[in-house]
Structure 1
Amino acid sequence: MSSVVANITARAAAGVLPHIVARAGGHSHSHNSVDVEGELNCGANTEGVDSLMGLRIASIFVILIGSTGGAVFPVLAKRSKWLHVPKAVFDFAKYFGSGVIIATAFIHLLASGLEAFESECLSEAWHEYPYGIALCMLAIFSLFLIELVAFRWGTAKLAKLGKQHDAHGHHMGSHAAHGPEGNLVESTKTELSSSPSSDIESVKIPHQHGLVGFDDSAITQVVGIAILEFGVALHSILIGLTLAVDEQFKVIFVVLVFHQTFEGLGIGSRLAYMRLPPKYNWVPLVGAISYGLTTPIGIAVGLGVRSTYNPGSTTASIVSGVMDSVSAGILIYTGLVELLAHEFLFNKEMMNGSNGKLAYAIGCMLLGCALMALLGKWA
């Protein structure tokens, strides 16, 4: 009888003890372990995040200065009367920023989203379909449909007022919404010459990117830049969270300083070229500062939850995959349609300009794209 009891006890111990050890945090040869709640908890652990705490805290302020400075400088320089920044510098920042945004979309966002959905922590159901690509595509078509509806609504409203003006604030004339934008100065002269002398004061003079004082133009510009910033902000918060608990902190930190500064330069150059009525002059500055705060906020939150946040866990992988994929779609649409197409294909000034000017603009854009793509090797 005693031998039977001993046999049963031995078998029970053999079946139960491994689970007890696993739940108690004992080492297992398997990459995946099961925590108390039954959720897969794999990937990077957070045991070493308390190292380099001084540098991790300092990174909040270093990246805050770099990202905010990169975004705010073009806005302030464009408005400054004493800081005479050559137009060529602004052109460089604008085209360089376009390349940065496009590379960010593909290399830093879409690639990260796909990698998150390939995590071993996720069940097989997540690996049976390319969810990252699907979410990216969904974001692209969602933005397209929103812009299409907004444009049709806006043009119908403007038609009732007897005006022709596209949803992006470009003077339409006889062109389509995304067609060649034409020479705005010549268009203005034509309007003035064809208007009776008594009506000259009523003709609004369009700037290069919109009609000053026309609220619909201002609102659409603000919405456009808000969409761009939304996509960038999601990514910036995520990388801030990851940086706070990453074991390879030093390398990632150095790379992200350049990453956020370049990205800020791209955002800031777009904000600086917004043509808004005086009552909206605060928008570009607020947008630049808001961008600068996103990554530092992510780092601060990551340090606050460093003992519990695991960027390799199941929940974190799903959230990161969804946010990165959606952000990629937003920036791909914005970068290719709003920036690339409008600045080159549908910009009559660029298409009719000299070969040297076109080559310079393309070179600046490719440089920004190349540098940001290179940074993707480390972060």
Structure 2
Amino acid sequence: MAAGVEDWDRELQIGGVFIILGVGALGAMLPVACKHVEWLNVSPWLLTLGKFFGAGVILATAFVHMLGGATETLKDDCLDGRMGDFDNWPGLLAMLAVLAMHLIEHVLTAAYVGGSNDDLAHMSSRNAATLAEHNNDEDEESKAEKVPVSGHLSHGHVHAPLFTDVDRKRRHLSTYILELGIALHSVIVGMTLAVTGGMEFKTLLAAISFHQFFEGVALGTRISELQFIRRPLALGLLNAMVFAVTTPLGQIIGIGIRQTFAPRSPSSLIIMGVLDSLSAGILMYSAIVNLLVEEFAAKEFCASTRKARVACFVAMYAGCAGMSIIGKWA
């Protein structure tokens, strides 16, 4: 997403802030509202397809738009060898962003979910010891009256809440990591849009609006699936709004620095190329790990009908194709 310089229009830029805010808020809040507001009669199946379509949009944005744009920017003739003899800076920086996101998710998972896993392991070992002791007592009393091991699955009432709590925490954390990755990327995209002018701005605004809506649908659907203990609608809408304001925030920052920003200067090209590369890596991790791997490996997905699974794959591929085609113009 290269920055243009001609015919920069402040009023048009300010209008773009509200357009992106509205589109992003609509995409992210719609699934949450449909989950909790009875009169919004939108099919959950339609939102599920939107989630997978959005996953494809995010993936294509990372590879086609962000990484491609970063490569073009960091190979610009204006840099005149300032990047040294190494030609793969975009790929290296994207990889570093992926590794950083992986480390962040691991640290947060250990801190947020680790305690529950320890409790679960302790409870499981204690139940196993109790079960073994109970079976030994039965052996001594009478093998004839021995209850099968499967009969002790009544202990499941102890296990179930723990497993549910761990799964709930993992789902919450995964969704927040996804939102964090998207938010970091969105601020960078907003800054890029804000320093772009002329027809390139209008084309980029249309592409980002498409991207924001379906990215919002993907994230909003994940948020709507979270099990909030209190005020689920309010918390869901709050999380959706956090996503909606990130790109406009980047636009406001970009508008603020526009007077001192020279898009074609070597330092500006390096900054934008580095930010686009890091943004690409963040989106790659978010799309592949937090959406593709997690959603397609979910028990509910694997247990669904073949027709439903095929429809989800087609929706994801369509999202990739649609955003890749838009890459021809933006």
Structure 1 length normalisation: TM-score? 0.68
Does the CA contact (< 8 Å) of 1:44 and 1:311 recur in 2? yes
Specify the code of the residue in structure 2 equivalent to 1:335. Answer: A
**Residue in 2 aligned with 1:241?**
194
Query: If you compute each CA radius of gyration, which structure gives the higher value, 1 or 2?
Result: 1
Specify the code of the residue in structure 1 equivalent to 2:207. Answer: V
Q: Distance in 2 between matches of 1:141 and 1:314?
A: 27
1:100-139 deviation per Cα after TM superposition (whole angstroms, max 9, x unaligned): 1111111121112222211223241415221111011111
**Residue in 1 aligned with 2:135?**
none
Of 55-64 and 334-343, the range deviating more from structure 2 = 55-64
Does the CA contact (< 8 Å) of 2:188 and 2:276 recur in 1? yes
Specify the code of the residue in structure 1 equivalent to 2:36. Answer: R
Deviation at 1:365, TM superposition (A): 0.7
1:136-184 deviation per Cα after TM superposition (whole angstroms, max 9, x unaligned): 111112222343455456665334323599xxxxxxxxxxxxxxxxxxx
Deviation at 1:271, TM superposition (A): 2.1
Of 368-377 and 259-268, the range deviating more from structure 2 = 259-268
Does the CA contact (< 8 Å) of 2:113 and 2:170 recur in 1? no
- 2:182 pairs with 229, 250, 269, which one? 229
Q: Distance in 2 between matches of 1:207 and 1:156?
A: 14
Specify the code of the residue in structure 1 equivalent to 2:191. Answer: L
**Structure 1: which 5+ residue stretches go unaligned?**
1-42, 166-190
Report whether the alignment pairs 1:290 with 2:242. Answer: yes
Does the CA contact (< 8 Å) of 2:51 and 2:214 recur in 1? no
- 1:73 pairs with 30, 52, 57, which one? 30
- 2:52 pairs with 71, 90, 95, which one? 95
Does the CA contact (< 8 Å) of 1:210 and 1:275 recur in 2? no
Report whether the alignment pairs 1:253 with 2:205. Answer: yes
Quickly say closer, same or farther: Cα 1:76–1:206, change in 2 above 3 A: farther
Quickly say closer, same or farther: Cα 1:134–1:78, change in 2 above 3 A: same
Does the CA contact (< 8 Å) of 1:68 and 1:292 recur in 2? yes
Structure 2 length normalisation: TM-score? 0.77
**Residue in 1 aligned with 2:267?**
315
Task: Compare relative contact order (CA 8 Å, sep 6+) and give the higher one, 1 or 2.
Answer: 2
Report whether the alignment pairs 1:347 with 2:305. Answer: no
**Residue in 1 aligned with 2:328?**
377
Q: Distance in 2 between matches of 1:260 and 1:112?
A: 18
Deviation at 1:362, TM superposition (A): 0.3
Q: Distance in 2 between matches of 1:360 and 1:251?
A: 30
Does the CA contact (< 8 Å) of 2:193 and 2:205 recur in 1? no
RMSD over aligned Cα atoms: 3.3
- 2:167 pairs with 193, 210, 229, which one? 210
**Structure 2: which 5+ residue stretches go unaligned?**
124-149
Quickly say closer, same or farther: Cα 1:154–1:286, change in 2 above 3 A: closer
Report whether the alignment pairs 1:278 with 2:230. Answer: yes
Q: Secondary structure at the match of 2:79?
A: coil
Quickly say closer, same or farther: Cα 1:152–1:297, change in 2 above 3 A: closer
Q: Distance in 1 between matches of 2:280 and 2:216?
A: 17
Aligned length: 301
Q: Secondary structure at the match of 2:83?
A: helix
Q: Distance in 1 between matches of 2:226 and 2:122?
A: 20
